[in-house]
A and B are shown apart, each in its own frame.
Chain A
Amino acid sequence: MSAASVALAGTPLPTQVRSLAGRAVVRTLRQPAMIVPSLVFPLFLLAVNSAGLDAATEIPGFPTDSYLTFVLAFPFVQGALFATMNTGQALAEDIENGFFNRLALTPMRGSALIAGQLGGLVVIGLIQATVYLGVGLAAGAELAAGPLGVPVLFALSILISIGFGGIGMFMAIRTGSGETVQGTFPLLFVVLFFSSISLPLDLLQQDWFRAIATANPVSYLIEGIRSLLIDGWDLGALALAFGIALALIAISITIASLSLRNRMVRT
């Protein structure tokens, strides 16, 4: 048994969660290849899109005169998609290299495994949100909601990360393959781009695209974040975004838990 497995045996649930969450955080922070792309790539696209599409603010009806502010929601959601990959990849590696099987031999509860992974995700999500907001504001973006909007923005951002992280966990537990988890990234990218990420829903001209973006829940997650940046306190947009994020969490964690139960039985 590994040291982590020994440490978990006979310990109460909070201790199990703390131990696994600590491992998840340390493991991620020790692998720059996992965290750097999730910081750099969204910021690169933010920089390119904010300058390349700045002229879009001249479209009649565009909600702000700063495309940087408008598109600052982009890295928050894209960072959450990276969380899906990172969480799923880490768990799949645990399954592939046998760590998961060793954990299954201990009295560890399945809920501790899930909560532990998500605990690690919250820490990474906080780092990402801090960097994205800091860089955005330094570059000239506005936060219409003011300082009180920061904790709300961070809370929403972390809930979105947890929701997508749950999907990553589900895929990892279901397939046990890091390669499969990685292979779903383009699909998640499609979900992001076929939304209101580049223009507001009411300015999307192509009917087919507007229909997809309107039906895509990611559009409302983006608009929740965007409302804090552009409008201040739009309670309707925020309620919708928080509601969708919580629903995403409920669904993704439920299916991840069910898959975990099946895998524990198989093990």
Chain B
Amino acid sequence: MSHSRDSYLSAALGIAWRSLHNVFSNPALLIPALVFPLFFLAAFAGGLSAVSEVPNFDYPAGYTTFIFGFVLLQASALGGVFTGFSIAADFQFGMGRRMLLATRRRTSILLGYALTAAVRVLLTWTVVTVVALLGGMAIGGDPAEIAGLYLLSLTVNVAALLFAAGIALRLRTLQAGPLMQFPIFMLLFMSPVYVPQALLTGWVSHAAAINPMTLILNTNRELLAGEPAEIAATYGVALGLMALLAVWAVTGMRRAEAAG
């Protein structure tokens, strides 16, 4: 039993090590995941700060913090998607087949990629958080709230990875990249990106009301500002998404296995 668990973890760690080595030795893979969140932070916090003067814009921690809540969510989600690209490449060029032959339990492959995504996003969080703090971000939350914020972001990262993995494993080609990226991008932007939810108008206000990202984004911002947040509901939604998408990814793995 213990031997089986050791070999499961050993396979996951081996896959994670290989993927991380690929990422950290290739700037073309590493840099976009770092640059995109920084770009959005600078463009939105710098270019839209006057939006905080809109009547009823009620967020005491300031606009940079407000936007940081979105950028953290986006960095976490896109970090998972970028690892999905690695899965697609591995299965397109034959490495995936070797992994399937070498592991007894296929979920260890997914665990390996999830560890990769987590390490990658940890680096992105560090860079984005430092830049935001240097740029004047105010944090009102206590250490427990900030820990809760990053833990929530980790669940988003894993959920996005599982979503992307399900597509990558079914299509097994890098050309599936837009299919992994675009739905996440749409979900992110159909939430209260620029203004609080109460100030949204038109179709986006209706879309945001049923978009699970809205609850996560609102909670991100409340935790950052140290305001009361719907923590239990948000974690419930995030973990529920993760469970659903785990099924999607595992069935994708079975498809990849069946395809040979």
Q: In the bound complex, what is the Cα–Cα distance between A18 and B162 (angstroms)?
A: 50
One of B48, B192, B199, B203 near A199 (C-beta < 8 A): B48
Bound together, the chains give a CA A55 to CA B47 distance in angstroms of: 15
Query: A186-214 toward B: CB 8 Å interface, digit per residue (1/0)?
Result: 10011001100111000111101100010
- Report the stretch among A56-64, A119-127, A259-267 that lies at the interface: A56-64
- Contact residues on A (Cβ < 8 Å of other chain), bracket: 20 to 34
**Which B residues touch A49, using CB under 8 A?**
194
B57: shortest Cβ distance to chain A, in Å? 8
Could you tell me if B50 and A203 are in contact, using CB atoms closer than 8 angstroms?
Answer: yes
Task: Give every chain A residue within 8 A of B192 (Cβ-Cβ).
Answer: 52
For residue B188, which residue of chain A has the nearest CB? A48
Interface members, chain B 22-74 (any A CB < 8 Å): 28, 32, 35-36, 39, 42-43, 45-51, 53-55, 57
CA distance A53 to B202 in the complex (A): 10
Total chain B interface residues with beta-carbon distance under 8 A: 32
20 chain-A/chain-B pairs, Cβ below 8 angstroms: A47-B203, A48-B190, A48-B204, A51-B202, A51-B203, A52-B193, A53-B48, A53-B194, A54-B201, A54-B202, A55-B200, A56-B194, A183-B28, A186-B39, A190-B39, A193-B47, A198-B47, A206-B49, A208-B46, A209-B46
A59 with B54: CB separation less than 8 A: yes
Nearest neighbor of A62 in chain B, beta-carbon distance: B50
- Tell me whether B129 is interfacial, beta carbon within 8 Å: no
CB distance from B156 to the nearest CB of A (A): 20
- Which partner residue on chain B sits nearest A60 by CB separation? B53
A189 to B192, CA, bound (A): 22
Shortest Cβ gap from B63 to chain A (Å): 9
Least CB distance, B139 to chain A, in whole angstroms: 19
- A250–B179 alpha-carbon span in the complex (Å): 38
Q: Please tell me if the beta carbons of A59 and B51 are within 8 angstroms of each other in the complex.
A: yes
In Å, the complex CA distance between A183 and B57 comes to 38
Closest residue of chain B to A197 (Cβ to Cβ) is B47
A-B contact count (CB 8 A): 87
Chain A nearest CB from B171 CB (Å) reads 16
Asked if residues B43 and A55 are in contact (CB atoms below 8 Å), the reply is no
Residues of A within 8 A of B186 (CB): 44
- Chain A residues with CB under 8 A of B46: 194, 204, 206, 208-209
Q: Quick check: B47 and A199 within 8 Å, CB to CB?
A: yes
Question: Interface of B with A (CB < 8 Å)?
Answer: 28, 32, 35-36, 39, 42-43, 45-51, 53-55, 57, 186, 189-190, 192-195, 199-205
Chain B nearest CB: distance from A159 CB in Å?
25
Contacts A190-B39, A193-B43: A56 and B51 contacting too (C-beta < 8 A)? yes
The 4 closest A-B pairs by CB, nearest first: A209-B46, A51-B204, A51-B202, A193-B43
Query: Could you tell me the distance between the alpha carbons of A36 and B42 in the complex, rounded to whole angstroms?
Result: 29
Known: A51-B203, A60-B53. A198 touches B39 (CB 8 A): no
Q: Among the listed A50, A52, A204, A208, which residue makes an inter-chain contact with B195, where contact means beta carbons less than 8 Å apart?
A: A52
Complex Cα distance A194/B54, Å? Answer: 21
Residues of B within 8 A of A204 (CB): 46-47, 50
Task: List B contacts of A189 (CB < 8 A).
Answer: 39
A51 and B203 CA atoms in complex are apart in Å by: 7
Closest to B45 in A: A206
- The complex places the Cα of A52 from the Cα of B207 at a distance, in Å, of 11
Residue of A52, A59, A193, A213 touching B50 (CB-CB under 8 A): A59
- Inter-chain contacts of B204 with A (CB < 8 A): 47-48, 51-52
